[in-house]
Structure 1
């Protein structure tokens, strides 16, 4: 059985390499008012949440990063 996924250990480094230049802590460079460097910024209780743990098909972030459409990335 795989261990529990930890945001800071497992997810944040991937987002840092690929997403933080546009969606990180620097508000002057942030696009779409989307901040991906904080775990709480990705989760919410409504349908607009960027991630839905355990349900990648429902996760907006998963759909965008796995898309071949450059307009979605």
Structure 2
């Protein structure tokens, strides 16, 4: 079973701004709930699968989006 991971929330915010994605739009693109996206953006952990969905929305590899503590 895959452990939970932490997304670099600063990078997430930057990418959302670059792509002009609101929490609602990112939710629609990723299929991840707005509540989960908000929690991740505020530093909470998420499943690896959720991190992958977020990374895909930003055209990034999931490894680019994870914090160093995940290594």
TM range (shorter): 0.3 to 0.5
TM-score (norm 1): 0.33
Higher helix content, 1 or 2: 2
TM-score (norm 2): 0.34
Q: Which has the higher Rg, Structure 1 or Structure 2? A: 1
Higher strand content, 1 or 2: 2
Instruction: Report 1 or 2 for greater relative contact order, CA contacts < 8 Å, sequence distance ≥ 6.
Output: 2
